[in-house]
Amino acid sequence: MNSSFALLLLRNLKSALAILVLSGLSTTSLAGVGEGQELYNAYCQICHGALGEGQTMGKPLTDGPANRLADQELIDVITDGRAGTGMVAWEGSLSEVEIFDIASYIRNLQGKPALILGGDDSGPSDDPNVIAGEMLFNGSAGCATCHSYDDQGGSVGPSLDGLGSRLSDDALTQALTNPSAPIVSGYGAKEVEQEDGTIVRGRYRNDSELAVQIQSEDGRRWVTYFKERVTAVRDSDESLMPDTFANLGASEQQQLLAFLKSL
């Protein structure tokens, strides 16, 4: 199964159940499993063995009772641990997504085809890709510095509420991979060249005969530059939006896209 098919599948199912189909043959094609494997090797292997076969300190995961755990039970035992045994609760040290990824990897080790989460609180956020994408957005990808959704986030770029229905797939990909191609109106950048030669770039906010007001790229400061003290004020045809997206791995790009489309 190739990854775009997996994405399509996840997208179509997002409103009902989040069903992650794990083909034992293609562990690398699905985002979560590879990450699950890394996490498993780092935290679980020491007690459960490299392939879940069990070690003196932990039970086997590939046969015995662990094989019969329902998906939710599997998630629960990793989340909550087993009181009075060496199996501690991982809730504090691992995120929900990480626990889901590890559980997915355990299913893989067991040679099982699927990890299915029932829809207790079904909705877009049950989709593991969407959850992972939201974490990227607010975390390492840095999007939240400039963009908001649900009234949270920065104001250098436009709010992304309703993006999924506002932009076609093509327009979304274009906005992410080539931000400067069409610049969203009202969000253009200006460059202010100061007398000492330093150039300040930011979102243009206001202008008057005497001054121009620029919001800094990190969104934190609105600075007024008096025109008599600057040598030039230019429109920039380069977007303020960095090309972070292009530099993400393929699975992270998919997660981010899934999240943006859910908005």
In the set 79, 110, 145, 213, which binds ligand HEC (CB under 6 A)? 145
CB of 206 to ligand HEC, least distance (A): 16
- What is the end-to-end Cα distance of the chain in Å, rounded? 27
The number of C-alpha atoms within 13 Å of 66 and in the hemisphere containing its C-beta is 21
| CB nearer ligand HEC, residue 225 or residue 245 | 245
Instruction: Rule CB under 6 A: say whether 18 interacts with ligand HEC.
Output: no
Site string for ligand HEC, 177-196 (x = CB under 6 A): --x---xx--x---------
In the set 7, 18, 44, 130, which binds ligand HEC (CB under 6 A)? 44
Between residue 67 and residue 86, which ones bind ligand HEC under the rule CB under 6 A? 69, 74, 77-78, 82, 85-86
CB of 219 to ligand HEC, least distance (A): 7
Instruction: Rule CB under 6 A: say whether 90 interacts with ligand HEC.
Output: yes
Q: What is the 3-class SS of the chain, one letter each residue?
A: CCHHHHHHHHHHHCCCCEEEECCCCCHHHCHHHHHHHHHHHHHCHHHHCCCCCCECCECCCCCHHHHHCCHHHHHHHHHHCCCCCCCCCCCCCCCHHHHHHHHHHHHHHCCCCEEEECCCCCCHHHCHHHHHHHHHHHCCCCHHHCCEECCEECCCCCCCCCHHHHCCHHHHHHHHHCCCCCCCCCCCEEEEEECCCCEEEEEEEEECCCEEEEEECCCCCEEEEEHHHEEEEEEECCCCCCCCHHHCCHHHHHHHHHHHHHC
Neighbours of 183 (CB within 10 A): 18
Instruction: Rule CB under 6 A: say whether 141 interacts with ligand HEC.
Output: yes
Q: Which segment (19-27, 117-125, 194-202, 234-242) binds ligand HEC by CB under 6 A?
A: 234-242
In the set 17, 27, 43, 124, which binds ligand HEC (CB under 6 A)? 43
CB of 100 to ligand HEC, least distance (A): 11
| CB nearer ligand HEC, residue 108 or residue 239 | 239
Instruction: Rule CB under 6 A: say whether 142 interacts with ligand HEC.
Output: yes
Q: Which segment (17-25, 51-59, 190-198, 205-213) binds ligand HEC by CB under 6 A?
A: 51-59
With both helix axes pointing from N to C terminus, report the angle between 31-43 and 128-138 in degrees, rounded to the nearest 10: 70
Instruction: Rule CB under 6 A: say whether 175 interacts with ligand HEC.
Output: yes
Whole-angstrom distance, CA of residue 134 vs CA of residue 156: 19
CB of 131 to ligand HEC, least distance (A): 16
Site of interaction with ligand HEC (CB under 6 A):
43-44, 46-48, 57-59, 61, 64-66, 69, 74, 77-78, 82, 85-87, 90, 102, 141-143, 145-147, 156-158, 160, 163, 167, 172, 175-176, 179, 183-184, 187, 217, 239-242, 244-245, 256, 260
